[in-house]
Amino acid sequence: MELWFTEKQTSGVGITCKVNRTLHHERTPFQTLDVIETEEFGRMLVLDGMVQTTERDEFVYHEMIVHVAMQTHPDPRRVAVIGGGDGGAVREVLKYPHVEEVHLIEIDERVVEASRAYFPELSSALSDPRAKCLYADGIEHVKNSPGAYDVILIDSTEPVGPAIGLFEKDFYESVFNSLTEQGVMVAQTESPFFNGDLIKRAFGAVRSIYPISRLYLASIPTYPSGLWSFSLGSKSVDPLDVRPRLDGIKTRYYTAGVHKAAFELPAFVRELVG
Q: Which residues bind its own copies (CB under 8 A)?
A: 4, 6, 10-18, 38-41, 57, 59-60, 193, 217, 219-221, 225-227, 251-255, 257-258, 260-262, 264-268, 270
Residue 217's identity, in one-letter code, is L
Q: Are 154 and 187 in contact (CB under 8 A)?
A: yes
Question: Residue 37's Cα: distance from chain center in Å?
Answer: 22
List of residues 6+ apart from 86 with CB closer than 8 A = 45, 52, 53, 58, 111, 112, 115, 119, 122, 123
CA angle 88, 251, 196 (to 5 degrees): 65
C-alpha to C-alpha distance for 131 and 112, rounded to whole angstroms:
13
Q: Smallest distance, Å, CB 60 to its own copies? A: 7
Q: Are 122 and 115 in contact (CB under 8 A)?
A: yes
Residue 10 is given by DSSP the state: S
Q: Smallest distance, Å, CB 196 to its own copies? A: 12
Q: Are 56 and 124 in contact (CB under 8 A)?
A: no
Of 65 and 104, nearer to its own copies (C-beta) is 65
Q: Which of 48, 128, 155, 170 is catalytic?
A: 155
Q: Smallest distance, Å, CB 268 to its own copies? A: 5
155 belongs to the catalytic site: yes
Q: Smallest distance, Å, CB 255 to its own copies? A: 5
C-alpha to C-alpha distance for 274 and 269, rounded to whole angstroms:
9
Of 11 and 247, nearer to its own copies (C-beta) is 11
C-alpha to C-alpha distance for 108 and 85, rounded to whole angstroms:
8
Q: Smallest distance, Å, CB 5 to its own copies? A: 10
C-alpha to C-alpha distance for 55 and 119, rounded to whole angstroms:
8
Which sequence positions are flagged as catalytic? 155
